[in-house]
C-alpha cells in the first residue's frame, strides 16, 4: 500500500553517475478488468532525465530486459510542470507526479531500479493511466464553484482581507491529482460509481468545499455542501491518520481544512436539528 513514509530521495544520496542506465520495473495492465503483469526496461539516462522522459524512451524502444518485444507503456500527462495532476503515479512506493520526478534523485547509480505503478484507488484505464473521474464527481457533489448568474460585468467582487485571501489561495492550488486519496486509509477503491456517493469523499473534496465556503459569494451554497459533508461518506469518516497532508505536492493544509469543515459540520447539524434547515 502507498504510504507517506515510503522511499523518498534524501540529501545524502550518492552523486548521480553520468551516462548510467536505470531499470524501470513497471506494473502493466492492458485495460479495465485485465490482469496486471510486471515488465522491466533498461533505460539510458541523461542529466535532468525525469520519469516522463524515460517513459518516452520506453515508448520508442518497447523491449523488455529479457529481450521480449512488447507494447509501449501508456501513461497520462498534460502540463509537464506539476500543475495538472494528470501524470500522478506511485514511484518507488510513493505517490507523486512523474513529470517532476528526477531520475538523478531516485536512481543515481548504474543499474538502480525505479518502480512505477498506477494509483491503486482509481480504476486503471491502461498501464499507468487511471480514471480520476471520481474526484471530479466529488467536486460536483460539494458544488465546487461560486454561483454567479450571467456573463455580464458584475463589478468589483466582495472585499476580502489579505490574510483571508492568502488562506484561500493556498487551498486554490489543488490540482485534483489524487495523491491525498491514494495515501488515505479511509478512502477505498470503489469501481462502481453507484458507491461513490456513500464512500468516504476524501480530503481533496473536503478542502475544496472549505475553499468555496470561505468565498463570500461561494458561501451561498454552503448549506448544500454541508449536507453532503455531514451525510454518508462525509467528513466524520476521516480517521485523522494525516497521510493526506504529508503527500500533498501543493502543501495544502488538508488537516486544517478537515478540522475547519468538521467544526462547520457540527454547527450545521445543530442548526438543522433546531431550525430544520
Looking at residue 129, what DSSP letter applies?
A: E
Residues 6+ apart with CB under 8 A from 29: 35, 36, 37, 118, 124, 126, 127
**Cβ pair 122, 111 in contact under 8 A:** no
- Does position 221 interact with ligand SF4 (CB under 6 A)? The reply is no
Q: In what order do the strands lie in the sheet with 94-97?
A: 36-44, 21-29, 113-117, 88-91, 94-97
- Does position 241 interact with ligand SF4 (CB under 6 A)? The reply is yes
- Does position 203 interact with ligand SF4 (CB under 6 A)? The reply is yes
- Does position 240 interact with ligand SF4 (CB under 6 A)? The reply is yes
- Does position 102 interact with ligand FES (CB under 6 A)? The reply is no
> What CA–CA distance (Å, rounded) separates 13 from 104?
9
Look at the alpha carbons of 156, 157, 161, 167 in this order and tell me if their dihedral is positive or negative. negative
> What CA–CA distance (Å, rounded) separates 48 from 83?
19
- Does position 112 interact with ligand FES (CB under 6 A)? The reply is no
- Does position 229 interact with ligand SF4 (CB under 6 A)? The reply is no
Q: Which residues, 203 to 262, sit near ligand FES by CB under 6 A?
A: none
- Binding part of the chain for ligand SF4, among 17-25, 30-38, 151-159, 200-208 by CB under 6 A, reads 200-208
Q: Which does 203 bind (CB under 5 to 8 A by kind): ligand SF4, ligand FES, none?
A: ligand SF4
Collapsing DSSP states into helix, strand and coil, what is residue 214?
coil
For residue 95, the minimal CB distance to ligand FES (Å) is: 12
For residue 253, the minimal CB distance to ligand SF4 (Å) is: 10
- Does position 74 interact with ligand FES (CB under 6 A)? The reply is no
Looking at residue 84, what DSSP letter applies?
A: S
Phi, psi angle pair for 248, to nearest 5°: -65, 120
For residue 100, the minimal CB distance to ligand SF4 (Å) is: 13
- Binding part of the chain for ligand FES, among 21-29, 73-81, 102-110, 122-130 by CB under 6 A, reads 73-81
Q: Which residues bind ligand SF4 (CB under 6 A)?
A: 174-180, 184, 186, 202-204, 207, 238-244, 248-250, 252, 254-255, 258
Amino acid at each position: 500500500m502507498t504510504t507517506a513514509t515510503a522511499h523518498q530521495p534524501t540529501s545524502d544520496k550518492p552523486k548521480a553517475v553520468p551516462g548510467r542506465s536505470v531499470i524501470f520495473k513497471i506494473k502493466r495492465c492492458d485495460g479495465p478488468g485485465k490482469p496486471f503483469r510486471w515488465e522491466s526496461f533498461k533505460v539510458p539516462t541523461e542529466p535532468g532525465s525525469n520519469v516522463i522522459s524515460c517513459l518516452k524512451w520506453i515508448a520508442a524502444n518497447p523491449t523488455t530486459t529479457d529481450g521480449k518485444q512488447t507494447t509501449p507503456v501508456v501513461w497520462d500527462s498534460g502540463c509537464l510542470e506539476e500543475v495538472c495532476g494528470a501524470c500522478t503515479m506511485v514511484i518507488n512506493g510513493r505517490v507523486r507526479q512523474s513529470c517532476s520526478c528526477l531520475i538523478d534523485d531516485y536512481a543515481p547509480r548504474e543499474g538502480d531500479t525505479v518502480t512505477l505503478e498506477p494509483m491503486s484507488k482509481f480504476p486503471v484505464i491502461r498501464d499507468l493511466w487511471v480514471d480520476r473521474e471520481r474526484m471530479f464527481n466529488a467536486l460536483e457533489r460539494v458544488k465546487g464553484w461560486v454561483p454567479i448568474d450571467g456573463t455580464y460585468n458584475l463589478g468589483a467582487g466582495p472585499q476580502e482581507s489579505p490574510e483571508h485571501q492568502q488562506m484561500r489561495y493556498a487551498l486554490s492550488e489543488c490540482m485534483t491529482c489524487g495523491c491525498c486519496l491514494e495515501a488515505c486509509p479511509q478512502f477505498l477503491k470503489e469501481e462502481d460509481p453507484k458507491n461513490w456517493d456513500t464512500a468516504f469523499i476524501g480530503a481533496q473534496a473536503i478542502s475544496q468545499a472549505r475553499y468555496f465556503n470561505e468565498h463570500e459569494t461561494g458561501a451561498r451554497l454552503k448549506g448544500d455542501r454541508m449536507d453532503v459533508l455531514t451525510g454518508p461518506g462525509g467528513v466524520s469518516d476521516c480517521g485523522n491518520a494525516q497521510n493526506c497532508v504529508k503527500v500533498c505536492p501543493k502543501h495544502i493544509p488538508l488537516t486544517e481544512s478537515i478540522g475547519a469543515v468538521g467544526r462547520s459540520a457540527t454547527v450545521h447539524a445543530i442548526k438543522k436539528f433546531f431550525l430544520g434547515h
